[in-house]
Amino acid sequence: MPLPLHPLPGVFGAEATVDLTAPGNRGLSADLLQALHDHRLLVIPGQHLNHADLLAAAAHFGPVDTHVDRRYAVGGFPGLTTISNITEDGTHVGVYDGDNEEEWHADNSFKPELTRATLLYSVITPAQGGETRFADATRAYADLPAELKERIAHLRAVHSIQQLAQLQSRASGGQSSTAAGSLATHPEVEHPLVLAHPVTGAGSLLLGSMVVKYIVGMDPDESRALLADLLAHTTSSPYVYTHRWRPGDLVVWDNLATLHTASPCDSSRHRRLLYRASVR
Ligand code: SIN
């Protein structure tokens, strides 16, 4: 039976109605991967996944990346990271980047090898705020005027975790877990501004509101202006889907075709807990 898919409101994404732990659904890898490449974002609600199930779900999409920040790795489950605003004894239990600032990005763009897909599974959801917003970087690129496409075709941009750490720390009053992390020792990397998807071949804008430092070889003012214009275009409402989390939601995104950001959440009033797996 084909995977039941319903388009999400907006220009991209689909909801899949499937129980990923049902024994009969173990052979769905090809369908799930095809759906991800077709729609760029999959929402799979109503799941009951333990940590092993989440890793098994990730394996449908490719090899799970086990190189995660050790401070927030889930013990005994290499490849799973805790994302949370919860503190225990004054220490954050998961990756936490402050309550207020949006940070549009593609996961791990500060590394030489880009993450291909990310899965986020929600366990505790805030009654208000804490949504994740996704931007369709493929459609946004496709809609650019031809002259602009030509102008940016061969440009490369520098992605810097040092700059990300600095800007997040400033925005969060020193609360960001990136700032404190050993990841801040990664050297800067260059990526194409327009990424050709290795499977679909479609072009996408690889941007980041804090992690992208400058366009290589371009005058700094021109680089800042171009990056700001492209980000504003890509994250404008026609290209954005906002996911309001319910417990048991599994969301999977094509990290080579989309950008995303967490939305503000008041941590003094609302708890948020999700687990993340990334696929290489
Ligand atoms: C992420 O950037 O991978 C997490 C997004 C979120 O916390 O909503």
pLDDT tens track, the chain, 280 positions: 789 999 999 999 999 999 999 988 888 999 999 999 999 999 999 999 999 999 999 999 999 999 888 899 999 999 999 999 999 998 999 998 888 889 999 999 999 999 999 999 999 999 999 999 999 999 999 999 999 999 999 999 999 999 999 998 888 888 777 766 666 678 999 999 999 999 999 999 999 999 999 999 999 999 999 999 999 999 999 999 999 999 999 999 999 999 999 999 999 999 999 999 999 9
Q: In the prediction, which pLDDT does 182 show?
A: 60
Give the position, in ligand 1's atom list, of the atom nearest the Cα of 131: 8
Helical (H) or strand (E) element with 232: helix 220-234
Q: In the prediction, which pLDDT does 8 show?
A: 97
DSSP-based three-state secondary structure for 91: strand
* Contact in structure between 258 and 117 (CB atoms under 8 Å): no
Give the position, in ligand 1's atom list, of the atom nearest the Cα of 274: 7
Cα–Cα distance for residue pair 255/109, rounded to 1 Å: 9
In CATH, which of 1.20.58.1610, 3.20.20.140, 3.40.50.10380, 3.60.130.10 is domain 5-279?
A: 3.60.130.10
CB atoms within 10 A of CB 105: 21
Cα–Cα distance for residue pair 114/255, rounded to 1 Å: 8
The residue whose CB lies within 8 Å of the most ligand 1 atoms, and thus the one to mutate among 72, 82, 95, 240, is: 95
CB atoms within 10 A of CB 78: 13
Q: How far is CA 66 from CA 4, 38, 79, 155, 266, in A?
A: 30, 26, 4, 31, 31
Cα–Cα distance for residue pair 202/195, rounded to 1 Å: 8
Q: Which residues line ligand 1 (CB under 6 A)?
A: 83, 107, 118, 132, 260, 262, 276
* Contact in structure between 255 and 38 (CB atoms under 8 Å): no
Q: In the prediction, which pLDDT does 26 show?
A: 84
Q: Whose CA is nearest to atom 7 of ligand 1?
A: 262
Q: In the prediction, which pLDDT does 109 show?
A: 97
